A and B are shown apart, each in its own frame.
Chain A
């Protein structure tokens, strides 16, 4: 059975209408008119136990709104959301014990207490048995490398240390699902690696389901198998990373640097896409030819100085997808007329 089920989930936000012009401020104060903005528009998908899902989208696409509804701190306007079989907002506290949540931009640690004491409070809040707590803490310490700063008050921790602390908090009570809203935001490369490694371990070894939002596409490549992409509150892509890559960029490139210009050359199965004399780039269809065989096809007497393979990275793929969505996006004037058309008079 799916651990997360969304069926036509919709969330609207209502704001008092704002007026421009010299008397606009007064009209804004007195108005009973509201504009309705649809943040999540009839979204449906399921997530099975043990999956690791990246939930992507440009800023303002509705990612955080979805996470808020799934953790029960925002009530859906219409449609259904179920987490572990319950409607999250109706069973907020019961669900809380079975899920772990990390908001990259908000802290859940107690500012004045050493990390260790935050964990101890957490143990009492979630009623974790002492043995379980000890085991989990040892696990977190080892995968997150936290032993050096467990006794330090949270306010003195670096951002990377704090985020590792946040993640540990979310893991201590054996959550069945982990919701992570930008867990690596603002971290350096090493700290990001540690977080990703921990997430991978938790997902593969402990079988926790992971749903994470991020703008760092390396997070996805290293942690997630499936990606969901939203834009303007609608699901626009749901599938494996490899499939998306195949859909948008199914090419591998090989860049060869020569010691001196070899003149015109060709490689079987490849097309020359860029020729700068000493540096030539060929493109091959992915999957057809293994890279080593490609090298074998080069004539042996070429004056090769260096060879590099270029993978179409996921970043490029997503960038292209976002750009194509931009094109579909109505421009500002259109949005204005659209919202004006939906003005509701109370």
Chain B
């Protein structure tokens, strides 16, 4: 356990080395929020649509921007490259669980981004456009849980892409498909409030809602308490299922590398 903690801290420190990236991410984050604010300003103006005001949408846009920034979906390139080049065998020789070290590494990155990108981005955009605080302490805690699920689910989905790539020798298609699913079902840009009811019903069953809509809506107190609890449990189920699937895929891949020789 302390080992994986060490991996996390190393990853945190590693990102300190890339200082220009931090500034760039903050600037891009602010611009991205600005664009969304402009769009919602044009669509909603000073009135309300379905009880949602421009002020609500600004908060929603800020939240979703920083949620996307902190997701653990950068696993791809490193693991993918190791599987392709055969360097993965080096990891198999070591007395640890490789996928757990990747997880710890990603968690360290997210922690770094939360501290050095999310906080300043929220501060700047809040000053420029205004920002709503969480609806209550309880909502804030629920938001924390939702973010935990978001991290776990984003890690699992990006791992799945890498592992499929091992069998099909192509990453692009899965990445593209996953991107499309996320765009539609995470609700990062357009909240589910504006979705047709059937589509919303489907979206509320899928795991992608935890990568955008659900944590943001929870923060804003836009969901009834019973819904929050139900969705958190659903998310927990998804996280366990997806991570379990990844673990199974990973054991298949190691088996194949070791028994069939790649």
Chain A interface residues toward B at CB < 8 A: 11, 13-14, 65, 68, 71-75, 89, 92-94, 96-97, 101, 103, 106-108, 110, 112-113, 117, 120-121, 124-126, 153
Contact = CB atoms under 8 A, between A and B. Distances in A.
Contacts, number: 61
A93 B90 contact: no
B135 to A, nearest CB: 40
Contacts of A73: 89, 92-93, 257-258
20 contacts: A11-B261, A68-B89, A73-B93, A74-B261, A75-B258, A89-B258, A92-B92, A94-B95, A96-B94, A96-B95, A101-B90, A106-B85, A106-B86, A106-B89, A107-B87, A107-B90, A112-B17, A117-B13, A121-B10, A125-B95
Interface stretch (B1-9, B122-130, B191-199, B206-214): B1-9
Chain A CB within 10 Å — which of B3, B7, B95, B258 has the most?
B95
B14 interface: yes
B115 interface: no
A126 B7 CA distance: 14
A124 B6 contact: yes
A308 to B, nearest CB: 45
Nearest to B258: A75
Interface string B76-91: 0000000001110110
A112 B10 CA distance: 10
Contact of B261 (A13, A94, A101): A13
A97 B95 contact: yes
A33 B87 CA distance: 29
Contacts of B259: 75
A307 to B, nearest CB: 51
B226 interface: no
B14 A113 contact: yes
Given A124-B3, A125-B3, A71 B10 contact: no
A125 B96 contact: yes
Contacts of A65: 261
Contacts of B2: 124
Interface in B6-26: 6-7, 10, 13-14, 17
Contacts of A110: 10
A212 B10 CA distance: 32
Contacts of A72: 92-93, 258
A112 B14 contact: yes
A71 B91 CA distance: 12
Interface in B37-94: 85-87, 89-90, 92-94
Contacts of B10: 110, 113, 117, 121
Contacts of B257: 73
A93 B254 CA distance: 13
A126 B93 CA distance: 12
B250 to A, nearest CB: 15
A256 B146 CA distance: 86
A121 B7 contact: yes
Contacts of A107: 87, 90
A108 B86 CA distance: 12
A73 B261 CA distance: 9
Contacts of A113: 10, 14
B147 to A, nearest CB: 26
A302 to B, nearest CB: 60
Going nearest first, the 8 A-B pairs with the smallest beta carbon separation are A96-B95, A93-B95, A112-B14, A124-B3, A75-B259, A73-B92, A73-B89, A124-B6
A319 B14 CA distance: 48
Contact of A125 (B14, B17, B92, B94): B94
Nearest to B7: A121
Contacts of A125: 3, 94-96
Contacts of A14: 260
Chain B CB within 10 Å — which of A68, A73, A97, A126 has the most?
A73
Given A65-B261, A107-B87, 14 more contacts: A13-B261, A72-B258, A75-B258, A92-B93, A94-B95, A96-B95, A101-B93, A106-B89, A110-B10, A120-B6, A124-B2, A124-B6, A125-B3, A125-B96
Contacts of B258: 72-75, 89
Nearest to A39: B261
Interface in B101-136: none
